[in-house]
Amino acid sequence: MARHLITSAIPYINGIKHLGNLVGSQLPADLYARYLRARGNEVLFLCATDEHGTPAELAAAKAGKPVADYCAEMWQVQADIAKGFRLSFDHFGRSSSPQNHKLTQHFAGKLAENGLIREVTEQQMYSKEDGRFLPDRYIEGTCPNCGFDSARGDQCDNCTKQLDPVDLINPHSTISGSTDLEMRETKHLYLCQSQMKDQLEEWIDSKTDWPILTTSIAKKWLNDGDGLQDRGITRDLDWGVPVMKGDDPWPGMEGKVFYVWFDAPIEYIACGAEWVEAGKGTDWERWWRTDKGADDVRYTQFMGKDNVPFHTLSFPVTILGSGEPWKLVDYIKSFNYLNYDGGQFSTSRGRGVFMDQALEILPADYWRWWLLSHAPESSDSEFTWENFQTSVNKDLADVLGNFASRVTKFCRSKFSEAVPAGGTYGPREDQLIADLTAKIREYEGHMEAIEVRKSAAALRAAWALGNEYLQEVAPWTTFKTDPDQAAAQIRLALNLIRLYAVISAPFIPDASADLQAAMQSDVTDWPDDIAAALSVMPEGHAFTVPEVTFRKITDTEREEWQERFAGVRS
C-alpha cells in the first residue's frame, strides 16, 4: 500500500467559484484521490480557503461585514458547495487558522536566519483620499503589457503578466475610485528568490515526468528577462498573518502582514495540523516531514496554470530555504483554462455558471462527468450548453444509464428481481471479459498517469462494451428459444452493472452508489480479476430496478439555461 499526499490549489474566500475554478484543481484532485483510495492506497487529501490579502478585505467591505466574520461565513459556504460536488477532502481548512499563522511565522524566521529575507525601503502608491497605501488589488489601471483596462496591481487577468501597482497606467483606488495617488516611502520584506535560482533549476530539471505545461511555465519564469527575481512578502494591510520571526517581533515591521502568496501555500502544511486538531487524523508530520516518515510519501499538487509559478518557484524557495526536512512536491498536475461559451469565466465579473448555480440545475455527477471528460489538459477547452447536453445525453443517459435500465427491467419481466440461474458462458462472454480486462487496464494506466480526459474516454469505452454485448446477444430474442442461455447473458450483464458502479465511482460517485445499492451488493473491491468480478453476484442474488440513473437534458432546458446564464451574475 502506497502513501499519497494530495493538495489542490486553495480557492480565494471572496465569493463562490465558477466551474472553471472547479475543473482546474479541486475536481481532478478528487478524482485522483478517490481512485487511489479505491486501489487500497493510504491517501491524505487536503484543501482550504485562501483568506488573506486584498480580495478578502474588499469582499468583506462590499458585504458590509468585518473581514473575520465574512471569511468564516464564506468558508462554510464553500465547504457546503464542496460537499455538494462530493469533493472528498480529508480536511478542508482555513489559511487564517492559528496553525497557519504559527507555521508562516516559523518559516519567515528560518528564512531570515538563513539570509534569504532582506528589508527593502521602496516607493509605493498611497491614496490621500483613503489615507492608506494601495497594495495589489486595492489599485487597478491599464496593463502596460497588453492594454487591458482593468488590470490589478499584482497581475493582469487578461495576459497573466505579473505586475506591481506602480506599473499600471492611469491607476485608481478600488476603494474610493480616487486617482489622487502619490508615491510614498514604505519598508517591506523581500524573499531572496534569486539566491536559490541554481538550486531551483536543478530541482525542476530533475522532474522529467512533469507535464509540459508545468515545466514550461516554471522555466519561463525562471529564465525569462532578468531571471528569477526577489519578491516582496509583506503588505500594508490589517488582515493577515502579522509579520514576526517565529515567536519574536520583527523590528520595523509593526502593523504589517505577510503577503498572501507567502502564507497561502504554507497552509497546505498547516492544514495537516488542522486535520489532527479537528480529530480526523493523527501525526500530520509523517506526511510533511521527511525526518518523520514523509520520505515514502508521493506528493501531488493540482492547480490551474496561473498558479504554477508560485508552486514551482516561490513555495519551493520557502521549503528549501528553510533548511528543514519538509516534503517537496513530487508531481504538479497543471491545467489550462476552461472558457465559457465564447468568452471567459470570471469570478470578479460574474460571467459563467457558478458552482452553487450548477447544483441548483442538476446533480453533481452530471457536472463532474462533463468537466472531467473535457478537462483542459493539453489546451484551453470551452463549455457550451450544446456540448454539455450532448455529452450528458449520449454518455451518461444512453450508454451507462440505459444499460442498467434495460438489463434490470428485462430480468424483472422475464425472470424475477434476482440473478437468474441457468445456461453457461461461451466464446462471446469470454471475448467480453477479455475486452473489458484490456479496457479497464487501459483506464487504470491513464488514471495512474493522471491523464484525466483519456481516463474518461477509457471508462466510457468500457461502458460501451456492455451495450455492444447486449445488442449482439439480444437476450430478449434468445429468451424466446433458449431461456437458459438468456439467463446466463443477463446474469453476466447484472454483474457488469455492479462492476461499472465500482470502476465509475471516482468520476460519478452518487450514481455509482445508487447502482451499487440497486444491485444490493456491498462488494466494492477494485476488479483486479475481471472474470471473478463478474461472478460476485451469484444465482439467486436479489436486486432492485434502479431509478433513472441519468435523465436526458431537453432542448427546452438547454435553451432556458443558455439564456439564463448569458448575462452577468448579479
Binding-site residue set: 143, 146, 156, 159, 347
Give the whole-angstrom CA distance, residue 102 versus residue 95. Answer: 11
CA-wise closest residue to 486 among 545, 425, 402, 403: 425
Cα gap 102→104, rounded to integer Å: 6
Kind and range of the H or E run holding 297: strand 297-304
Count of C-beta atoms within a 10 Å radius of residue 125: 23
Burial of 61 (0-12, 13-18, 19+ CB in 10 A): middle
* Distance separating alpha carbons of residues 338 and 139, to the nearest angstrom: 27
- Show binding-site residues for ATP: 347
Q: Where are the alpha helices (DSSP H) in 126-255?
A: 197-205, 212-223
What DSSP string describes 525-559? ---SSHHHHTTSS-TT-B--PPPPSSPPPPHHHHH
When computed from its CA atoms, the radius of gyration of the chain, rounded to whole angstroms, is 27
Distance CA 258, CA 100 (A): 12
Burial per residue of 136-159, b for 16 or more beta-carbon CB atoms within 10 angstroms, e otherwise: bbbbbbbbeeeebeebbbbbbbee
- What are the distances in angstroms from CA 253 to CA 233, 238, 417? 12, 13, 73
28 in Cβ contact with 331 (< 8 Å): no
| Among 356, 374, 353, 352, CA closest to 364 | 356
Q: How far apart are CA 211 and CA 305, in angstroms?
A: 11
* Cα–Cα distance for residue pair 160/146, rounded to 1 Å: 10
Residue 246, SS3 per DSSP? coil
| Calculated CA dihedral for residues 392, 397, 399, 401, nearest 10 degrees | 140
Degrees to nearest 5, angle at CA 145 with 139 and 147: 70
User: Quick check: 490 and 545 in contact, CB under 8 A?
Assistant: no
Residue type present at position 337: Y
Amino acid occupying residue 544 = T
Under a CB-based contact definition with an 8 Å cutoff, are residues 135 and 236 in contact?
yes
Q: What are the CA-CA distances from residue 221 to residues 215, 266, 519 (Å)?
A: 10, 21, 53
**Which residue ranges make up the annotated binding site for Zn(2+)?**
143, 146, 156, 159
Beta bridge partners of 314: none
d(CA 210, CA 225): 24
In this structure, what C-alpha cell is assigned to residue 9? 490549489
Write the single-letter amino acid at 158.
N
